């Protein structure tokens, strides 16, 4: 898949036809682009942040392609979750549902376990840094850092690029400053809790019925999130939700 700049939109839609539903899909007032253009802007924003390093994340070359893919897929579930309440647009659970869709897309694209783990994890968590400081959040800083595991640096980049790509009429300069502070705060917490080991994907091959890289990677992501919330009990990844 051609994710290096300049982006070939036709090629990307051919590889991920689910994104075609995002064309002309209106977002919230915090967004100024339709959902497809927003996603493409996030991919470009990731490239920009990797060069500029504004939030100070440290992303290895071996993670760049997976990060690009996560940027492309992070809102893949928005078309099937869009709703309105009292005149406001909502995409309830598009993050968690999107992570499940990453599993299916990963099978089709032949993604490795590591690529799927990174992409599913970032898709599931891409909103969480923005709410990290809220006392009612389900992912306070340390829990979020544990859920992101070895992909904390990549999560900070995606979160920042996602924020920059949402320049709707409700966005104010202080919102950007605050989000930059949240990203750097998250990175400090993540590094303080580290190092975060990468799962032994090969050891899990016999526990997943299909044995595909996408299923193994999704299992690792799914159980890391459960463990971070105190509900995971099986490091062998033997139980998974039904594929979407």
User: For 176-227, what is each residue's pLDDT tens digit?
Assistant: 999 999 999 999 999 999 999 999 999 887 778 777 999 999 999 999 999 9
**pLDDT category, 130, cuts 50, 70, 90?**
very high
Burial 141-167 (b: 16+ CB within 10 A, else e): bebbbbbbbbbbbbbbbbbbbbbbbbe
- Average pLDDT of 136-164? 97
What three-state secondary structure class fits 91? strand
C-alpha 220/C-alpha 155 separation (Å) is 16
Q: Is 10 part of any domain?
A: no
**pLDDT category, 1, cuts 50, 70, 90?**
low
Residue 113 has pLDDT above 90, yes or no: yes
- Looking up residue 213, the CATH number of its domain turns out to be 1.10.3210
The DSSP bridge partners found for residue 90 are 83
C-alpha 102/C-alpha 99 separation (Å) is 5
**pLDDT category, 172, cuts 50, 70, 90?**
confident
Q: Is 205 part of any domain?
A: yes
Could you list the residue range(s) of the whole structural domain that residue 120 is in? 15-228
| pLDDT at residue number 174 | 87
| pLDDT at residue number 236 | 47
What residues contact 118, with CB distance under 8 A and at least 6 apart? 63, 66, 67, 69, 70, 151, 154, 217
What sign for the dihedral angle of Cα 199, 201, 203, 205? Answer: positive
Q: Is 183 part of any domain?
A: yes
Tell me how far the alpha carbon of residue 77 is from its chain's centroid. Answer: 12
Q: Give the residue carrying structure tokens 């993604």.
A: 111
Measured from the Cβ of residue 2, the count of other Cβ atoms closer than 10 Å reads 12
Task: Name the residue with higher pLDDT: 40 or 232.
Answer: 40
Number of domains in the chain: 1
Q: Check residue 184 and report its DSSP letter.
A: H
Q: Is 235 part of any domain?
A: no
Measured from the Cβ of residue 196, the count of other Cβ atoms closer than 10 Å reads 16
Number of helices (H) and strands (E) in the chain: give both, helices first: 10, 2
Q: What is the pTM of this model?
A: 0.91
Measured from the Cβ of residue 140, the count of other Cβ atoms closer than 10 Å reads 16
User: For 152-169, what is each residue's pLDDT tens digit?
Assistant: 999 999 999 999 998 766
Q: Which of 13-27, 79-93, 131-145, 227-241 has the lowest mean pLDDT?
A: 227-241
Q: Is 240 part of any domain?
A: no
Q: Is 146 part of any domain?
A: yes
* Percent helix, strand and coil across the chain, each to the nearest 5: 60, 5, 35
Question: Which string of DSSP letters, residue by residue, matches 196-236?
Answer: -PPP-GGGGGGGSSS--HHHHHHHHHHHHHHHHTT----TT
């Amino acid at each position: 898949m051609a994710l290096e700049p300049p982006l070939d939109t036709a090629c990307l839609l051919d590889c991920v036809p689910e994104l075609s539903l995002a064309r002309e899909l209106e977002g919230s007032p915090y967004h100024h682009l339709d959902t497809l253009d927003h996603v493409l802007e996030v991919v470009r924003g990731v490239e920009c942040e990797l060069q500029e390093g504004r939030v100070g994340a440290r992303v290895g070359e071996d993670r760049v392609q997976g990060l690009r893919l996560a940027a492309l897929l992070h809102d893949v579930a928005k078309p099937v979750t869009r709703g309105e309440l009292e005149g406001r647009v909502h995409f309830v659970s598009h993050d968690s549902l999107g992570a499940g869709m990453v599993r299916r897309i990963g099978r089709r694209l032949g993604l490795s376990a590591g690529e799927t783990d990174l992409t599913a994890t970032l898709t599931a968590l891409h909103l969480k840094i923005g709410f990290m400081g809220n006392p009612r959040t389900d992912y306070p800083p340390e829990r979020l850092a544990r859920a992101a595991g070895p992909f904390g640096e990549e999560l900070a980049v995606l979160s920042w690029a996602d924020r920059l790509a949402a320049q709707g009429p409700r966005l104010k300069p202080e919102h950007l400053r605050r989000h930059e502070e949240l990203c750097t705060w998250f990175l400090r917490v993540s590094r303080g809790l580290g190092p975060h080991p990468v799962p032994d994907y090969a050891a899990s091959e016999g526990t997943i019925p299909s044995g595909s890289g996408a299923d193994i990677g999704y299992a690792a992501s799914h159980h890391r999130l459960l463990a971070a919330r105190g509900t995971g009990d099986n490091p062998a990844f033997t139980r998974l939700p039904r594929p979407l």
